[in-house]
Amino acid sequence: MRLRHAIPAGVADSAFASLATLGIGLYAARSLQPADFGAYALFFTGFALATAIPTQLVLAPAEFAVIAAFNRNGERLSLVRQSWRLGGPWAALSGVGVAGAAVLGAEASFPVLRALAVTTVACSVVSPLQDHIRRLLHLGGASWCAAVVSFVQLVVVCAALVALRATGVHPAWRPLSALTLANAVSLGVGIRFARNRQWGETVPRYPLRRLLRSGQWLLLGEIAVAGASFLSALMVSRLASPVALGRAEGARIIAGPLFTLILGLNLVLGPRSIEAAAARSRAYAGRITRAFVGLLVAAGVLYGAVTAAPWWGNLFGDLVPQAYALRGLVALTVLSYVLLGLPFPQRAELIGAGRERFLPRAAFVAGLAQCAATLSALWIGAFARPVGVGIFGIAAWFGYRRHRGALYGPVEPDPQRGSQSALRSTT
C-alpha cells in the first residue's frame, strides 16, 4: 500500500482504537467518585504496562522478523497462526502481576479494588493480541482492514457500556469489562481478515529463544517507559493526593487523541523507518522523520489551541471538568505528548539497524529523569505528571539520537544491492 493511502488508514485505525479507550476513560471519570477514579487511573496505567510485556518480549520481535524475511504481504499475515502461542501466556502472567501491584498501591474500598483487579487481568490478556493482529494487518498491506477491526472495537465498547449500566453492576466493573469484551470481539474479526488474506509461503515457527534475544532489549526499554509512567502515577497519588492524580488523568484523557495520532503515524511510518535503517539510507530515514515530526507538531499546536481551556466549542469542558480545575493542566499535558512522540522514528531506526540493546539504556535514563521530575508533585501536585512525561520525551530523544548517529555513514549503500529501489517501491 502506498504511503499516501496507508497513513490515513493508520490514523483511522489508531483513532478508532483510541476512541474506545477514550470512551471508557470518560465513562470512568463521570461514573466514579474522585478517589475511586484515582484508583482507576493507577490500574489503567498498570494495564498499559501489562500489555507492553508480551508485545515487546515476543510479539514485536516476531513482527520485525517477518518484515526482514518476507516482502510479500500475504506471507507476513501467516504469522497470525502463532499469535496465541507466543503472546497468550506472557499476557496472562503480566496481567496478574500488575493487578497485584496496583492493589497494593491504590487507595480505595475492597469492592472497587476487586473489580478493577479482575477486569485489569482480563483486559491484559486479550488487548496485546488484538493490537498484534492489527499491526500484522498493516504489515500485510491490509491497513483498512485494521481500521475496521478498531471500528468494531469502538462499537462494541459503546454497546457494552450501555448494557453494563442497564444491569446495575458497580461502576468500577464497567470500563475495563467493556474494553475486554470489545477487544475479544474485534480480535476475532481481525483473525478472520488475516486468514482470508494470507497466501504463499507460511512463516516458519519462531522459537521463543530466538525472539527473546531481541525481545529482552525491547522489553527492558518498554518497561522503562511504562514502568516510569506507573511509578509517576503512584508518586502523584501518594505525594499529592488521589484527587490530584484524577485531575491529571482527566487531562491525559483529553490529550489522548494526540497520542492517537502518534500511534497511527508509527503504525505506518515505523516499519519504513526500520527498512531505512536496515538499508543504512540516511536520506530515506530523514524523510520519514521529517514527515512524522511535522505532522505531530502541527497537530499538537492545533489540538492544544482547541482544548487548552473550557469554552463553548470544547466538549471536554463538560465531559471532564476535573481536568480544567487547574488552569494550564490540559495545555501542559498536550505539550508533554508532543515531546513524548518525538523519539519514535529514532527508536524504529535503532531496531531496524539491529541496535535494540541501546534502547534500554536511553529509556532507563529517561525513566529516571521522569520519576525525578515527578517528585515535584510535593509542590505542584497534578502538574507533576505531564512535567514528568515531557522530561521523559526529551531525555529519550537525546539518548536515541546519540546512538543513531553511528548508524549512517557519509555514503549511501551500494546500488548493486538494490536497497534503494526496494525502499522506493514501498512508497
Long-range pairs, 401-409, Cβ under 8 A, ≥24: 401/346, 402/362, 403/350, 403/355, 403/358, 403/361, 403/362, 404/346, 404/349, 404/350, 407/277, 407/280, 407/349, 407/350, 407/353, 407/355, 408/280, 408/281, 408/282, 408/285, 409/280
User: Does the structure show a pLDDT above 50 at 423?
Assistant: no
pLDDT tens for each residue of 40-60 = 888 888 888 888 889 888 888
Which pLDDT score, from 0 to 100, does residue 297 have?
95
Percent of the chain topping pLDDT 90: 36
SS3 content of the chain, % helix, strand, coil (to 5): 85, 0, 15
In this prediction, residue 156 carries a pLDDT of 95
pLDDT at 424: 45
Residue 259's pLDDT is: 86
Percent of the chain with pLDDT over 70: 91
Is the pLDDT at 30 greater than 70, yes or no? yes
Please tell me the pTM assigned to this model: 0.72
Determine the pLDDT at residue 416: 40
Indicate the range of 75-84, 96-105, 341-350 predicted with least confidence.
75-84
Confidence label for 414 from pLDDT (cuts 50, 70 and 90): very low
Comparing 231 with 329, the larger pLDDT belongs to 329
Instruction: Check residue 331 and give its pLDDT.
Output: 96
158 against 37, higher pLDDT: 158
pLDDT per residue over 212-238, tens digit each? 777 788 888 877 887 788 889 889 988
pLDDT, residue 234, reads 86
pLDDT of residue 220: 84
- pLDDT given at position 8: 80
